[in-house]
Structure 1
C-alpha cells in the first residue's frame, strides 16, 4: 500500500517520533513500512535544567505498563479466516490482550516531544532492553515471513511437523528473550544504583569542598579580624599610655590647685580681716565726716567764690592759648578719613570710634563721639578745655576739634597703647625692661606736670595702660582726659595733695581706681599715684591688674621676686627690679596717706634708672621758669638749635626744614641719624611739635 488508511495507523504515522522504524501488518501481511529518519532529533533540556545532571532513579514494576501490539503497530493478529494455520492464540504471535511489559512513560498517543523524551530516557537507562526488543522484532518479522510462505504452500503432515518444530524453536527463543530481558533489567538496576551512589558521592564531595572553601574563607576572615584586633590593641595601648600620662599630669595639677586653693583661703581670711578693719576705718571716717560737716559747708562756700574768680582767670588764660586750638569743619574730617571708612578705623572705646586720617598734610587721629556713648557733651568740653591749655611732651597733643559733630583731632600715635604692647597684640615684639623704665619715668613726669599745673591742679582720674599711647620712638603720651578733674585752687602751694574733688558717683576702671575714692568719693592727686603704682607693677611683671599688689608682696616676702618678673622684657637687673617693686607697692597702698609724693620721692628713684637706661636726667615738668633746660626734642639734630619749622623725614625723625633740605641738596640720600638710605625724600610738617615749641618759647 502507498500508506495506511485506518485512523489509528495514520495517527501513529503522524505522531510517532521520526527516529522510530514502523512496520504496519494486516492479517499477517506487511502492508507498509515507515523508515526511520537519518537525523535523530534530540530534545534539549529546559533552560533551568540545562546544567543539572540527569540522575536516573531505579525503575520498579510499577513503571511498566501493558502495551498491546496493535497500539504500537508492530503486530496485528491474523483474522479468523487466515489459512496459515496460526490461530490468534498461537504462541507464535503474542496475543493482543497479553501483557507486554515496557517502562511507563508518555503514551504514543501523546505529543511528539513527549515520545522523543521517552525514547531518550529508555535509551539511557535500558540499552540492553532495546537490543533484546530489536532481536525479538526481527524474530517476529522472520516468523511472519515464514507464516506467509507456509500459508502459500499446501497443507500436509510434513509441513505441520516442520511448523511444530519451528514453534518449539520460537518458544525457546521467546523464553531466552524473556530471560535476557530480566537479566538486562537486573543489570540496569545495579548500574542505576551504582550511578546513584556515584552521584551521592559527588554531591557529598562537592558539599565537602564548599564547606572547605567556606572554612578557608572564615579562617581568613578570622585571621584578618585577629590582625585588626592586634593593631587596635597597639593603638589602645598607646592611648592608654597617653591617658595615664594625662592622668598623672592632672593629679599633679590637682595637687597644685589644692595648694593654691588653701593659699587662696588664707588670703581670703586675711582680706576678710582687712575688710573688717576697713569697715571700722570707714565708720571712723564717717564719724569724722559728720563732725566736720558744718566746717565743710563753710569751706565750700569760700571755695565757690574762689572758683568763680579762677574761672574768670581761666577764661583770660584760655584766650591766650587759643592759638593752639583749631576748629575744623565736618567736611574736612570726612574728607580726611575717606568718609569715615572702616579700613581707617584704628580703635574704639567708651567715648566712640577713632579713625586715622590725613588732615592738612598731617597724619592725625580723629575721635568721633558715639551718639549712644556713656560720655556726653560734658566730657567732650572737659577734654577740649584741658588739652587746649596744656602742652607736655608726654601728653597727647590736641590739634583741634569739630564742635558741631563732637569730634576731637589729635596727633597720630603709630604704636598704639601700652596695653597693646604689654599683651603683644598682633604678635608685636614685647617691650624691653629699659623701655619700660623709660616709659614709667615719662609717665611720672606727665603726672607731676598735671598735678602742679597753675592755677588749678589736674587729676587724670582714669590712669591705665589703655590710655597711655606710644609714638614711633616708643615715647609715652598720656591721653583720654574725658573724666579728668580740676582741683580747687590753692594760693599758697601749687602742689597741695590735700586738695580734692568730691563726687557722689565715682567713675574709672576697676583695678586701677583708688579704694579711698570708691569709698569716700574724694578724688585727689594721690588717686593718680595709686593708679601709677599698679602700672609700675604691670610693667615689672606683665600680669593683670587684679590682685597684682598682693602677688608681688607675697613674692618679696618669700624672697622669690625673680619668679614673677616678666621674662619677655629680658634679664631684669635685680637691684632696679626690687626698687621698682617696692616703689609700685608703696604707690598702690590702700591708705592714701602712706603713698609717696611723685615729685620728691618717686622721681628720686626713677631718675637714676632712666640715666642707667641711657635717657636724659632732666625732669620734664613743662616750662622751667628758673631757666636753663630745653627739651631735647625741640632741638634739631643737625643744627643743634631750637627748631622753628620742624618737619618729619622718611626715617621717622624730626628736623629743621632748612637743615634737612640742605642735607638732601648736598647729595645725601641717607638718614642723618641712622645713616640708612631714605625710602623717599618727602617732608611732612610737624604742626603739633611746632605749636609746642611756640608755646614753650612764649612761657620762657
Structure 2
C-alpha cells in the first residue's frame, strides 16, 4: 500500500510539472535558438514554468576494423574527453539559463544524449509526458513574411511523430509559424521508427542513452534504449574512410605483401598445403573466439574468404595473414581520434555509470593476443616443418616472410601510436596558438578603437575650444553695448522708484480714506444688503439667459455680423489659437459667444460642412459646449462663451488664477465620465477622438463642458496631433473606438491628480505606485487629498492607459464605481466648508465697491480707490468719466494693478478654505 501510494504521489507530481511547464527545444548555438526562447518567455512568462530542452549528439570513436571494443580505449583519455564534452554541454545550457534569467524568468533544464535530434525530442516527449513544447520551424535565415509551413526536417518529423497529447508551437525569427493542437486523453503510445529498429536488434547488441533532466542541480535517468550496432559500424566505417592517414600507414606493407603473395604462389608445395590448412584453421578459430574484435582492413581484404568451400577450413594467402595480424594489433592512437562513449546496462552498476575504458588495458590485451597469435603461428610453422621433412622440405623464405610480417605489424603499431600522439599534441598546440592569436587580435582591435575614440575626443575638444574662443570674442564685442544698455536700465530703475513712491503716497491716501469710511459703516451695511438683493436679481437674469441660450435654435450668421462682433477680427478679441483655427470672444445678438474660425482646406464641401455642424448642434448635454450657429462664409462655428476658459488654463494658473481645489478636480473628472458615458451610449455611439485639458471648458461655477466635439469629422485626419492624450492604438490604426476616449480620460485624470508634465506623467505615477510613494506625485497645491481614494483613482487611470485594449476598464461600471463615492465625499465636505464660510466676513478693503464681492484682479484708478478690473473697465467703457465713489471727474482713465492687495486676498482665501 505504501509503495502504491508513493507511486501515485510521484505520478501526480510528474503530471503536475508537465502540465504547468512549457519545454523549449534549443540547439547547440545560442544565437540560432535565441528567437525561439524569446518568443516562449514573452508568451508564457508568469503563466507557466519554462524548461530548456536539448538533445546532445555524442562524438564517436572508431577502429580500423569498424567494430567497437570496450577494452581497447585508454581510460584517462576517454574520461577527459567525456568530461570536456560534458563541460561544453553544461556551459551551453548555462548560457541558455542565463539568457532566460536576464529576461526575469527562472528556467529548468532537460537534456538527452542520442544520435538523432528529432528522435530524441520525440522520445523525451513520450517518456516524460511533455504537454507543451516550443521549437523552431526553420533557421532564422530562412524566414519570410509569407512563411506558413515547416521547412526544417526535424520540425516536420516532430510534427508528424510526436505524441498527440503534446501541444507544439513552431516559431521562426520570433514569429509563430504554425501550431499542432494537442488531443487530451489519447490512448496511443508513441513508438518511433528508430526505437523499433533498435528493438529488433536486442538479441545481438545493446546500448543505452542517458537522459538528464536538470532543475536546480537535479538529474534523472531515462530507461535504457537499445542501439543498433550495425548502424554504429557503418558510421565507424564512414569515419575510417575519412581518415587517409590510416591508409598511408599500411601502403608499404601492402606492397610487400603482394610481392610475398606472388612468391608464395610459386614456391608452395604440396607439403606446405597441410601447413597452410592448419594455420588458416588456427587463425579462424582465433578470430571466432574473439567476439569483440573482427578484422577489418582498410584495404581490399575480404572476410568471407575465411570460410572455405563445402565447409572446409579457409585457406589464407600471405597478404590476408598480414591483414589479420594488423587487425589484431589495432592502432589505438589513430582510432582514439574518433571518440565515442558507450553505455551498457548489463556492465554498469547503475544506469548513470559509464564504462571506463583504459588505453593500457587495450595495449596489454592487444600485445597478449599478438603474442599468443605469434606463438600459435610459430608452433604451426614448426609442426609444418616437421611434417614437411617427411614429405618435402618447405622453403625457408616463406617462414621468414611470415616472421617479417609479424615484426612489421608490431613496428607499424608503435609507429602509428607515436604519430597519433604527435598529431594530438600538434592539434593542441594549434588550438592554443589560435586562441592566443585571437586574443592578440581582439586586443589590437580594442586598442585601435581606443585610439580612434581618443582622436575623436581630441577633435571634439579642439572644436569646443574654438567655439569658446569665438563666443569669448563675441562677448567682448557685445560688452560695450551691454554697458550702454546698463546705463539706460539704471535710468529706468530710478524712474520706477519714483513711480513706486508716488504709488505709495496714493496707497497712504487710500488708507486714510478707508479710515474715514469707518464713520459710514451703517450706511455701507445697508448698501451691502441692497447689493445682495441686486446680486440675486443678476443671478436670476443669468439663469434666464442660460435657459434662453439652451432654447436658442441653430442660427446662421453672416460674415458682416461676425466681423462686427470681433471688431474685424481684432487680435485683442482672440482668446485661443490652435490647429483647428483661432477662437474669438464676441457678442452676437446680445449673447456672449465664442467664434471658432476653422481653416478652409477644402476637406469638405460647403454643403457637407453646414450639414455636419447642424447635426453636431443637435447633441445637447449639460456638460457639452452648445453650438449656437454657423457662419458659412467665414467657415466658423459659434459656441456659447464660458468665462473660466479651459481646464489647461486653470491647471497652469494662466492669468495668475489660484490652483483648482481637489474637490473641484474630482467634480470635473466625474462630469467628464458622465458625458463620455452619454456619448458612447448613443446609437450609433459618438466618439470625441481628441479629448485633452484644452478641450475641457469651464463656466463661472467651474462646471466642465466638452468642446470641439465632432471637429475630428470636419478636418483632415492627417492634421491631428500626436499628443500624449491621444490613444497610441488610434494613431496606429486610425480607427476611433470607445477605448480612444477612455485612454484620453485616464491621462486627464492623472493630470488632475499630479499636475505634472504630460510626457512624464505616466512614468512618474507608475514608479510612485510601485515604490509606495504616491504622495510624492500628488499635487498638494489643490489641498489635502484623501490619499487612499486618490491612489485608487490613480490606479484606475493607469488601467485606462494600458496598451492592451482588453485590460482597459469600462466607463459605466469600473470607472464610475470609483468616482461616485469620491464625489459624494467631496459634496459632504463642501457643504460643511460652505457653512463655515458663511460665518466668515471678508475685510472691507477686499470687497469691490461696485460688485460688492471679494476682488480677484484689484486695480487702482486715478481717484485712489481700488476696484475689480472688470467692474471699473465696464464703468469707463459705458461712457463715465467720473469716479464711482466721489463723483469727481477722473484726471486719467489709466488703471494700475494692485498686486500687493491681490496676494493678500489670495492668502485670505486659502486660509478660509
Q: Same fold (TM over 0.5)?
A: no
TM-score bucket of the superposed structures, by smaller chain: 0.3 to 0.5
Tell me the TM-score normalized by structure 1. 0.39
- Greater helix percent: which structure? 2
Tell me the TM-score normalized by structure 2. 0.30
Question: Computing the radius of gyration over CA atoms, which structure comes out larger, 1 or 2?
Answer: 1
